[in-house]
Homo-oligomer: A and B are copies of this chain.
Amino acid sequence: MTPAEQRDLLQAVADHRLDVTAADQQLTEAQQPLDFADLDLERPQRTGYPETVFGEGKTAEQISQIIPRLRARTPVVLCTRVTATKAQAVQQRLADQQDIRYVAAARCLVAGEIPAPTTTGTIAIVTAGTSDIPVAEEAAVTAQAFGNRISRVYDVGVAGIHRLFAKLDVIRQAKVVIVAAGMDGALASVVGGLVASPVIALPTSIGYGSSYHGLSALLTMLNSCAEGVTVVNIDNGFGAAYAASVMNHL
């Protein structure tokens, strides 16, 4: 139940459009604990960030029950790793919440309005190739949902390094930089040596053969000879953006 819905309900009671017993039942239902999840509703108070829903491995039914409970605490609820099919199923179950939309490029479901940026600093999201874009877009949506400005610099891998230099200004203007790369993952080291801001290396599972689903890029990034690069899990666009947002709000 969103705050608006709750206000509507109370107004309806005040207007005698809804009797107290029914209102009481609706409120109770919306607040009762889920038997499959113990939501971390105090999270915003503790860390400044609302709990986000990791959609992989959850059913549409479960997501549909979680979203309303989280909405009561935060203006925007983000649900990552959602397939188009599952997104549609959630949207149908929550048909009364018109402001839930699916961002296909990022495989994310967003309930509520993405807020206006709350910082002047920008998070640059850089990718080595075009295949890294879905992971980068997950990071982009996440960063925006958390109130950050972002800039995208895509497809500037080191095999044609002039492309990177052509966009170095944009990258250097950012307060925090995320570098997403699969295969050799070398872009993180090169960017790390060229900027003074924190660099978050985001390995992707792009590649084949001995890339081992992102292991190659992950190891490259952990062993970056550029100092000050930190690393998140393979394909973890959300985590990279979360960490970037924390830094951007410092």
Interface residues of A (CB under 8 A from B): 35-40, 42-43, 46-49, 51-52, 56-58, 62, 121, 128-131, 133, 154-163, 175, 183-186, 189-190, 192-198, 200, 203, 205-236, 238-239, 242-243, 245-247, 250
Contact = CB atoms under 8 A, between A and B. Distances in A.
Contacts of A133: 36
A247 B230 CA distance: 11
Contact of A130 (B37, B42, B207, B239): B37
B193 A158 contact: yes
Contact of A186 (B205, B206, B225, B228): B225
A233 B208 contact: yes
Given A38-B163, A208-B236, A229-B243, 20 more contacts: A38-B156, A40-B159, A40-B163, A56-B131, A58-B130, A62-B130, A161-B193, A183-B223, A183-B224, A184-B186, A185-B220, A208-B233, A210-B214, A216-B219, A217-B223, A222-B232, A222-B233, A223-B233, A227-B242, A228-B242
A212 to B, nearest CB: 7
Given A186-B189, A189-B186, A210 B219 contact: yes
Contact of A58 (B131, B156, B247): B131
